[in-house]
Amino acid sequence: MSLTLQEKILQAAAELFYSQGIKATGVDAIAKAANTTKMSLYKYFPSKDELVLAFLRKRDQDFRAWFVEQIDARADTPKAKLLAVFDVIGEWMAIPEFRGCAFINAAAEFPLEGNPVHQVSAEFYDHFRSYIAGLAGQCGSKSPDSLALQLSLLVEGAIVSEQMKRHSGAAEQAKQAAIVLIEAA
Amino acid sequence: MSLTLQEKILQAAAELFYSQGIKATGVDAIAKAANTTKMSLYKYFPSKDELVLAFLRKRDQDFRAWFVEQIDARADTPKAKLLAVFDVIGEWMAIPEFRGCAFINAAAEFPLEGNPVHQVSAEFYDHFRSYIAGLAGQCGSKSPDSLALQLSLLVEGAIVSEQMKRHSGAAEQAKQAAIVLIEAA
DNA sequence: TTGCGACTATACCGATCGGTATACTTTGTT
DNA sequence: AACAAAGTATACCGATCGGTATAGTCGCAA
* Mean pLDDT value across chain B: 97
Please determine whether the domains at A1-45 and A53-184 fall in the same fold group of CATH.
no
Contacts of B4 (CB under 8 A, 6+ apart): none
Q: Give residue A94's pLDDT.
A: 97
Distance from CA of A185 to the nearest CA of B (A): 10
pLDDT digits (tens, 9 = 90+) for A86-119: 999 999 999 999 999 999 999 999 999 999 999 9
Please give the CATH topology (third level) of the domain spanning A53-184. Answer: Tetracycline Repressor; domain 2 (1.10.357)
C-alpha neighbours within 13 Å on the C-beta side of residue A5 = 13
CATH number of the structural domain B55-184: 1.10.357.10
For B146, the closest of A105, A157, A176 (CB atoms) is A176
Q: Give residue A185's pLDDT.
A: 82
Whether residues B176 and A146 touch (CB distance < 8 A) is answered with yes
Residue in chain A closest to B161 (alpha carbons) equals A153
At the top level of CATH, the class of B1-45 is mainly alpha
Q: Which of A104, A55, A120 is nearest to B161 (CA)?
A: A104
- Nucleic chain C contacts, protein chain A, residues 2-31, CB cut-off 7 A: 25-29
Report how far residue B170's alpha carbon sits from residue B173's, in angstroms, rounded to the nearest whole number.
Answer: 5
Nucleotide nearest to B35 (CA to C1'): C8
C-beta atoms surrounding A76 within 10 Å: 9
What is the H or E stretch that residue A173 is in?
helix A170-184
**Is residue A129 very low, low, confident or very high in pLDDT (cuts 50, 70, 90)?**
very high
Q: What percent of chain A has pLDDT over 70?
A: 99
pLDDT digits (tens, 9 = 90+) for A61-81: 999 999 999 999 999 999 999
For the segment A18-40, the average pLDDT, to the nearest whole number, is: 97
Whether residues A19 and B105 touch (CB distance < 8 A) is answered with no
pLDDT digits (tens, 9 = 90+) for A14-26: 999 999 999 999 9
- For residue A43, is pLDDT > 90? yes
Q: Where are the domains of chain A?
A: 1-45, 53-184
Distance from CA of B9 to the nearest CA of A (A): 22
Q: What single DSSP character describes residue A60?
A: H
Intervals of chain B under pLDDT 70 = 1
* Torsion angle in degrees (nearest 10) through CA of A152, B21, B110, B127: -60
Whether residues A109 and B146 touch (CB distance < 8 A) is answered with no
**Is residue A2 very low, low, confident or very high in pLDDT (cuts 50, 70, 90)?**
confident
